[in-house]
Amino acid sequence: MEKTQQVHELLCRTRDSVRVIRGLSQQENVVFASACFACLFSKCGSKLAIVDLHGVKVLKTSDFTELMSVRRSNVQLLHFSECAKYLVSWEKPQEETPNLIIWDTTTGTPIYSLVQKKFMKECWPTIIFNADSTRFYIKGGSDLCIYRIPEPQPLLIFNQIRVTSFFISSKTNMLIIYTGDSKGEGSKISICVETATGLEKTAELGVKYVQEIKVLWNKDAQRAVIWCQTDVDTTGRSYYGEHSLYIYTPEIKLKQVKTTEGPIHDVQWNPVDNEFIVISGFMPATTNFFNLNGNKKSEIAKHHRNTIKWNRFGTLVLIAGFGNLHGEIDIYDKETMNMIGHCRAPSTVYCEWGPCGKVFVAATLCPRMRVDNGYCVYKYTGELLVRVMEPTELWEVAWTPQVFVFEPLTPSHKEQVVVQKKTYKPPGSSSGFAAHFKAVKESASGKLQVQHAPPPPPSDFIPGMAPEPAKKKKKKKKPAAGK
């Protein structure tokens, strides 16, 4: 169960310690006062895993007492199972020693020890548990291996399809398997269902060359949006490569979603409803609403934005422009789709709604930003509630998973906000000249007095030498009369 309380808790991991800040009054509780390289809350919020110089520790979040401690070196990544009973750790590979280990968090003993040398951080976690943590799935070469915990040998090795990456539905027995291009065969997306005898393929879609895909499941994990990406745009129009979007539904299987021409910047499902938002197109990008079948419902706005964040209740959505954009943040009310809040948080690396669904944090973190590390907490209206600047490097900020009672917004809190667009002014310039120039140009005469530059000096001019006196012109004598 998630922690049930009505006080926000925010975890901050710096170079020297891990702190938990209770509430917005900045009451600190130092959980770990030494160098920490990684930390992770379980999904239910009952446990906190920490990696230090000596190994891995698991703490109970109610009082931060130690539940498990193991000595391991070079641990870099962590992952909890759905029920927090198991913890997965990944270490830098050293020869043939196991570096991917599944731990039992109650006893601190390793359940499985595997070797995984080839690894991309973007593909973490490489071990996926089912909903009740009785089985886990892992890719072995081009095969998919399914283990039943704690049996040492795989329950099933699926090799009918070459597996590049796979995605598990958390609430059904469905899998999506992506097969990358090989020898010009093209890429494929396969929909499979797990049965008592193995995996059965129910649908397949051939797509053009794709380097990676992301799968986003809806609230009941029966529908999925599949985001296909390549690093290179063959047309040369986009720096972000080529993107395409597909949707899987039990009724229509697989079909392409029509988005605005250009790169896709972000896609997010409403956590409590069968609808999703897509930001796509060249900047200024277009933000659109789509229904459960992938058909466009409405256009929200056309602006410089690339990030979508829903609160956990699906009542508010944050649409922002981070990264190489200016950090503009818009908050929309889902019921009316009016903008009810706006603020600006430049240099934001991490942004997330709090568990109450009415405040959010925007943080500037290492290693992306080495200066001005800190975080700000904003209300959904854009009002700044807390600003904290860290004197040392800030590496991570995260809300403690908790259960808050849903409190709907009152009509007075849904008033639409109108953002005034400011004219661009170059850095270091003053607006006086521009205003004067415009006034003269629009005056009745409409004539500008142009001062011509002086002529250039002669080629034999010596810098610093006084200029030669101007020669007086001799007046011509008038001829005498009568001559």
Condensed to tens digits (0 to 9), the pLDDT of residues 183-233 reads 777 788 888 888 877 788 888 888 877 888 899 999 888 889 999 888 777
Question: Which H or E run contains 316?
Answer: strand 316-320
Q: Domain for residue 189, yes or no? A: yes
At 15 the pLDDT is 81
**Two tokens at 281?**
């197109």
Q: Which residues are bridge partners to 310 per DSSP?
A: 317
pLDDT at residue 472, as a whole number: 67
Task: Output the average pLDDT for the chain.
Answer: 83
Give the model's confidence band at 279: pLDDT under 50 very low, under 70 low, under 90 confident, else very high: very high
Amino acid 473: pLDDT: 66
What is the rounded distance in angstroms from the CA atom of residue 135 to the CA atom of residue 123? Answer: 19
Query: Residue 297 is encoded by which pair of tokens?
Result: 């419902």
343 pLDDT higher than 80: yes
> Do 41 and 113 have their domain in common?
yes
Residue 83 falls within a domain, yes or no? yes
Please report, rounded to a whole number, the percentage of residues in the chain having pLDDT higher than 70. 84
Q: Last residue of a domain, which of 125, 148, 179? A: 125
Domain-located, residue 7: no
For residue 26, the model assigns a pLDDT of 64
CB neighbour class for 274 (10 Å; exposed up to 12, middle 13-18, buried from 19): middle
Report residue 247 as tokens: 């949707």
Residue 31 and residue 46 in contact, taking contact as beta carbons nearer than 8 Å: no
What is the extent of the structural domain holding 151? 126-208
Within a 10 A sphere around the Cβ of 376, how many other Cβ atoms?
A: 19
How many Å apart are CA 155 and CA 159, to the nearest integer? Answer: 13
How confident is the model at residue 460, as a pLDDT?
74
47 & 88 share domain: yes
CB 254 within 8 A of CB 294: no
Is there a single domain that holds both residue 197 and residue 136? Answer: yes
Spatial CB neighbours of 356, under 8 Å, sequence gap ≥ 6: 8, 404, 407
Domain boundary among 78, 104, 125: 125
Q: Of 101-110, 235-244, 279-288, which range is least confident?
A: 235-244
The confidence score (pLDDT) of residue 426 equals: 61
Any bridge partners for residue 127, and if so which? 138
- pLDDT tier at 378 (50, 70, 90 boundaries)? very high
Q: Is residue 229 part of a domain?
A: no
pLDDT of residue 88: 92
Q: Is the pLDDT of residue 6 over 80?
A: no
Residues 6+ apart with CB under 8 A from 335: 315, 414
* H/E element, 435: helix 431-441
Q: Are residues 121 and 148 in the same domain?
A: no
Classify residue 282 by its DSSP letter: S
Which stretch, 22-36, 86-100, 195-209, 309-323, has highest mean pLDDT?
Answer: 309-323
List residues bridging with 22 in a β-sheet.
9, 27
**Confidence (pLDDT) at 361:** 93
Query: What band does 448 get if pLDDT is binned at 50, 70 and 90?
Result: low
Residues 451-478: pLDDT tens digits?
667 777 777 777 777 767 766 666 666 6
In-domain check, residue 165: yes
More confident residue, 411 or 151: 151
pLDDT above 70 for 421: no
Contact between 222 and 262 under an 8 Å Cβ cutoff? The reply is no
* pLDDT over 60 (residue 413): no
* More confident site: 182 or 69: 69
- My answer on whether 188 and 141 are in the same domain is yes
Would residue 361 count as lying in a domain? no
**Do 93 and 152 belong to one domain?**
no
**Once rounded to an integer, what is the mean pLDDT over residues 149-175?**
87
pLDDT value for 4: 53
CA angle 28, 22, 48 (to 5 degrees): 85
Query: Considering 86, 103, 125, which residue would you say is the last residue of a domain?
Result: 125
CATH number for the domain harbouring residue 115: 2.40.10.480
Higher pLDDT, 294 or 235: 294
Average pLDDT over every residue of 288-303: 89
CA-CA distance, 163 to 187, in Å (whole number)?
A: 11
Give yes or no: residues 105 and 176 share one domain: no
Place 316 in a pLDDT band, splitting at 50, 70 and 90.
very high
Enclosing H/E stretch for 433: helix 431-441
How many domains is the chain built from? 2
Whether the predicted pLDDT of 120 surpasses 80: no
Q: What is the mean pLDDT of residues 13-35?
A: 77
Q: For the whole model, what pTM was predicted?
A: 0.78
Instruction: Extract the tokens encoding 446.
Output: 């409409």
**140 lies in some domain:** yes
Answer yes or no: is pLDDT of 424 > 80: no
Tokens 């058909």 correspond to 295
Q: What is the mean pLDDT of residues 364-388?
A: 89
Among 11-15, 317-321, 423-427, 434-438, the least confident range: 423-427
Whether residue 105 sits in one domain with residue 71: yes
Q: Do 113 and 169 lie in a common domain?
A: no
Whether 307 is in a domain gets the answer no
- Predicted local distance difference test score (pLDDT) of residue 286: 93
| pLDDT of res. 169 | 87
**Residue 427 pLDDT class (50, 70, 90 cuts):** low
Q: Could you tell me which residues are beta bridge partners of residue 285? A: 303
Question: Quick one: pLDDT band at residue 429, thresholds 50, 70, 90?
Answer: low
pLDDT at position 99, please?
87
The Cα–Cα gap between 215 and 221 comes to 11
